Amino acid sequence: MELLDGELELREIQKLEGHTDRVWSLAWNPAATGVAGMLASCSGDKTVRIWQKGPSGSWNCSSVLEDTHTRTVRSCAWSPSGKLLATASFDGTTAVWEHVGGEFECVATLEGHENEVKSVSWNASGSLLATCARDKTVWIWEAQPGNEFECVSVLQGHTQDVKMVQWHPFLDILVSVGYDNSVKVWTEDGDDDWHCVLTLGEANSGHTSTVWALSFNSAGDRMVTCSDDLTLKIWDTSQNPSETSGDGNGSWSHLCTLSGYHDRTIFSVHWSREGLIASGAADDAIRLFTESKDSLVDQPSYKMLVKKEKAHDMDVNSVQWNMKEPRLLASASDDGTIKIWELSVVSK
């Protein structure tokens, strides 16, 4: 990665304004590239906005998805095909929107959680959707023909508010994190029964306060988690936890902890295809980390490459790398704005 040999900076390309309350979360459409680049954002203003890159290269709001959620929209996620967008809301529901002919239509509403839904995630094939809520449960929904979604499992195990669910990049392994400081890993046993096969808590060198988010690297053999305890943690996820659990060997394990970099809660973390980890925190800053080249084989270490202070005027709630253009980063903030950044080498 030749970029990493020079001094790097995050250059602000554009500030996207339109939301009238804090922006909680962002999702790049995996299918749309180039001129058709597309970003979804969701907010405390109860709406979802779709931003598209125009021919001039600037980003504009092309749709506002409103009048469906009655409370904060906390999380949004595109299906792998890029045709469906799922949105999770404090109103207790998850909506699924279909993109047809430039318009977004709400084609399904998933009800069942007792209270605020905090996060939604599609599996790699788009056949399964996971949601989690303040009611301490994680639900798995199966996509049926005709935009029907059937709940196939209600997973209990977290003792508090579940903050985020995220599927492995290509395996049907689900990870959930939450207010009980734990990371839980769920897999199916072949009989449509889902189980928690692994819990990563304080006893496994895990977090000591709320875990807000997680992200896998593109190979799926490592995972990063971020927390209110002001640390990032890197985990080895190269073993299949359902095959190795029980004997105590070969399961997911803690690799290293990045501490001393963040001053306030870390709300968001995202691993780029090129191996860069971005974090967004309550100190208004965005930081980028990468693995040290000189780190020992059995003891990887990570170093900070870039710290963008005052990236926003308030807390940074979400950071998301673009999948197609790996040096393009989007961030969302309590200040109501979204920013598009480009990672580039500082010109001397």
In the complex with other proteins, which residue's Cβ is closer, 37 or 178?
178
In the complex with other proteins, which residue's Cβ is closer, 116 or 291?
116
Least distance from other proteins to the Cβ atom of residue 326, Å: 29
The binding site for other proteins (CB under 8 A) comprises 22, 44, 71-72, 74, 90, 115-116, 118, 134, 161, 163, 179, 209-210, 228, 264, 282-283, 313-315, 334-335
In the complex with other proteins, which residue's Cβ is closer, 193 or 313?
313
Least distance from other proteins to the Cβ atom of residue 163, Å: 7
**Looking up tokens 């998301």, which residue turns up?**
320
Classify strands 211-216 and 194-200 as parallel, antiparallel or unpaired.
unpaired
**Cα distance between residue 60 and residue 65, in whole Å:** 15
List C-alpha distances in Å: 231 to 226, 243, 259: 6, 29, 5
DSSP 50-80: EEEE-TTS-EEEEEEE-SS-SS-EEEEEE-T
Least distance from other proteins to the Cβ atom of residue 38, Å: 26
In the complex with other proteins, which residue's Cβ is closer, 134 or 287?
134
Structure tokens at 336: 């109501």
Q: What angle do CA 189, 220, 275 make, to 5 degrees?
A: 165
Least distance from other proteins to the Cβ atom of residue 201, Å: 16
Least distance from other proteins to the Cβ atom of residue 263, Å: 9
* Neighbour order of strands in the sheet with 103-110: 73-78, 84-89, 94-100, 103-110
In the complex with other proteins, which residue's Cβ is closer, 60 or 70?
70
Least distance from other proteins to the Cβ atom of residue 132, Å: 12
Least distance from other proteins to the Cβ atom of residue 334, Å: 8
In the complex with other proteins, which residue's Cβ is closer, 282 or 288?
282
In the complex with other proteins, which residue's Cβ is closer, 164 or 198?
164
Considering all CA atoms of the chain, what is the largest pairwise distance in Å, rounded to the nearest integer?
Answer: 60
Q: What angle do CA 78, 82, 83 make, to 5 degrees?
A: 100
Structure tokens at 260: 């001393």
**Cα distance between residue 161 and residue 158, in whole Å:** 7
Structure tokens at 197: 């096969």
Classify strands 117-122 and 222-227 as parallel, antiparallel or unpaired.
unpaired
Strand partners of residue 109: 95
In the complex with other proteins, which residue's Cβ is closer, 88 or 234?
88
Residue 315 makes CB contacts below 8 A (sequence gap 6+) with 22, 264, 267, 281, 282, 284, 333, 334
Structure tokens at 206: 């895990």
Least distance from other proteins to the Cβ atom of residue 308, Å: 17
Structure tokens at 169: 């990049």
Least distance from other proteins to the Cβ atom of residue 228, Å: 8
In the complex with other proteins, which residue's Cβ is closer, 134 or 270?
134
